[in-house]
């Protein structure tokens, strides 16, 4: 990668307005070489849009984006990428289009040499060109490309047997992994990543974390995973109510600095208000007295020159709780000898588990182990070949699917979406639930298709609250949710007295609220006491004993 000056990119007074609402109001920031920036803010604050503005995929009303000529962008959206027509390896190889182009030129020139007169000037010129191109390939270390490609794909969870599979065979989440592999191999000056961990399990996430720490270029990413941001980032950008605030440090440092900034601002505001009140009191008291009139007038002029401190508005945040769960029997759900296959591919074999009243279970397993499949089977939405699935006699189950938000009817309004499931609830009650998820006033009449990813997830969660349940199954519930919404969900689950089973890659979210870990393997299921960190420590100890 070419060397570059510290300031690669500058956002200068960017303004973007939708109707009466300012998404950005004259925001400015710089991005320098080797920056690792976490972009944070509430759902709908404009985080994804800012990534598109930077790489030229989104127009804005005013301001400009300055960048050095050598700067290249690599942009990963949240979803929506689909590849077909090549094998996994060949598709990923296109990240090195410049190298492949050089090799094609060499092959073509060598073929032409056979037809040339070896004593001709053209022959010697072609030989020189081939030599120059081969030196260029050596500089690019072209011989190591296959191993680099395979290393990145394996790190992101693919297997060696996947390399020759057609890309169209892979699901949406795996397609996003292919796109991510191509981006990081292309080695752009600035990586723009929108929720890169949404489709990764814990192992692949750890690999990506380590890779990004060593990445040569700069990074600006949106993530709602505290642990991931804390491990990687050295700067934080916060979008809030049209403004952009910049901080030095990772997410935890940002939280502390943000609170300190607001506290200092409040102190300064109170101090200024006290000074203003004293000045106004003096003016009102002495403006009519001839002996003090000049002083009073001087105070008036001084007041006019004061730059008034304005307290930043606080954003609303989600706050809700689950309805008290109906009483359940001791056994909430039970699987016995369960087997599941997709065609010839066996996913789960001889699975046994008993889930009891009050259980708080995190589901873990390697890629393809069947975590989502087992959640669907327990929820009763996925068929299986053999074995038994039983629910307790009094079990009332509520299921949040991994792509629940994507399955919402795009043409319904927020209110209509809730009315579909809120049987027996009046309009006021429904609006009350929606209000706790920040759908207030005319927001309830918005169509689902105009909502951000986080807003759709909040709506999907709101649907769960419309019906009481004593057993919750949640598959990746924090995907697209901002930090405050995650905190609200975590708090609600802490207070919930029913049983729940949660599939998530977000350890910071899951560790404080689980007491058991369900390990999913193709040859069965195992239940461990403790949270995910306890489980991972157990695996390390087992591995250590094996090595000794």
444-463 pLDDT per residue, tens? 899 988 887 778 888 888 88
In angstroms, the CA 221 to CA 48 distance is: 9
pLDDT in tens, 317-371: 777 788 889 999 999 999 999 999 888 888 888 899 999 999 999 998 876 778 8
pLDDT mean over 510-518: 95
Q: Which of the pair, 149 or 346, is modelled with greater confidence? A: 149
CATH assignment, 1-72+188-249: 3.40.50.300
Instruction: Find all residues with CB under 8 Å of 527, minimum gap 6, and list them.
Output: 353, 361, 516, 517, 518, 519
Task: List the domain boundaries for the chain.
Answer: 1-72+188-249, 82-185, 254-305, 331-396+468-547
Asked if residue 2 has pLDDT above 50, the reply is no
Nearest CA-CA partner of 215 in 232, 227, 229: 232
CATH assignment, 331-396+468-547: 3.40.50.300
- Report in angstroms the alpha-carbon separations of 13 from 99, 191, 303, 396: 39, 22, 29, 53
Asked if residue 230 has pLDDT above 90, the reply is yes
pLDDT mean over 428-446: 84
In angstroms, the CA 85 to CA 263 distance is: 56
What is the predicted pLDDT for the residue at 136?
Answer: 64
What is the predicted pLDDT for the residue at 379?
Answer: 93
């Amino acid at each position: 990668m070419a060397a570059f000056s510290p300031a690669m990119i500058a956002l200068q007074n960017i303004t973007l307005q939708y109707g009466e609402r300012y998404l950005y109001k004259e925001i400015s920031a710089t991005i320098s070489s080797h920056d690792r920036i976490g972009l944070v803010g509430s759902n709908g604050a404009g985080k994804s849009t800012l990534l598109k503005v930077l790489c030229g995929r989104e127009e804005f009303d005013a301001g400009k984006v300055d960048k050095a000529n050598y700067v290249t962008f690599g942009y990963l959206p949240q979803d929506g990428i689909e590849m077909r027509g090549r094998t996994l390896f060949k598709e990923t190889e296109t990240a090195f289009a410049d190298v492949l182009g050089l090799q094609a030129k060499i092959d073509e020139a060598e073929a032409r040499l056979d037809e040339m007169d070896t004593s001709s000037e053209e022959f010697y010129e072609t030989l020189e060109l081939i030599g120059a191109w081969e030196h260029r390939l050596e500089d690019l270390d072209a011989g190591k490309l296959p191993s680099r490609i395979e290393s990145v794909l394996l790190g992101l969870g693919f297997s060696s047997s996947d390399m020759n599979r057609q890309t169209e065979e892979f699901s949406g989440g795996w397609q996003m992994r292919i796109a991510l592999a191509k981006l990081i191999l292309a080695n752009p000056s600035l990586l723009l990543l929108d929720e890169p961990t949404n489709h990764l399990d814990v192992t692949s996430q750890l690999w990506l974390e380590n890779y990004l720490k060593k990445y040569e270029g700069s990074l600006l990413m949106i993530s709602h995973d505290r642990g991931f941001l804390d491990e990687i980032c050295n700067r934080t950008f916060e979008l809030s109510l049209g403004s952009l605030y910049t901080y030095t440090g990772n997410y935890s440092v940002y939280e502390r600095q943000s609170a300190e900034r607001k506290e200092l601002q409040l102190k300064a505001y109170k101090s200024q208000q006290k000074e203003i009140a004293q000045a106004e009191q003096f003016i009102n008291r002495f403006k009519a007295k001839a002996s003090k009139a000049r002083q009073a007038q001087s105070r008036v002029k001084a007041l006019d020159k004061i730059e008034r401190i304005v307290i930043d508005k606080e954003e609303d945040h989600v706050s809700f709780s689950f309805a008290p769960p109906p009483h359940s029997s001791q056994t909430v759900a039970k699987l016995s000898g369960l087997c599941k296959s997709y065609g010839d591919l066996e996913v789960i074999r001889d699975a046994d588990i008993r889930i009891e009243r009050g259980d708080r279970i995190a589901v873990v397993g390697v890629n393809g182990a069947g975590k989502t499949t087992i959640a669907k089977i327990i929820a009763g939405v996925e068929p299986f070949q053999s074995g038994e699935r039983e629910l307790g006699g009094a079990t009332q189950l509520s299921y949040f699917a991994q792509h629940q938000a994507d399955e919402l009817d795009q043409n319904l309004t927020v209110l209509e979406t809730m009315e579909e499931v809120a049987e027996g609830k009046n309009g006021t009650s429904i609006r009350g639930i929606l209000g706790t998820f920040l759908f207030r006033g005319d927001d309830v009449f918005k169509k689902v298709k105009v909502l951000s990813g986080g807003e759709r997830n909040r709506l999907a969660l709101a649907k769960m609250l419309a019906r009481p349940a004593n057993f919750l199954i949640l598959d990746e519930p924090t995907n697209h949710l901002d930090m405050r919404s995650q905190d609200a969900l975590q708090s609600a689950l802490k207070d919930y007295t029913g049983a729940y089973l949660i599939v998530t890659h977000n350890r910071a979210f899951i560790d404080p609220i689980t007491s058991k870990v369900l390990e999913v393997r193709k040859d069965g299921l195992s239940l461990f006491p403790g949270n995910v960190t306890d489980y991972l420590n157990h695996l390390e100890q087992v591995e250590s004993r094996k090595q000794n």
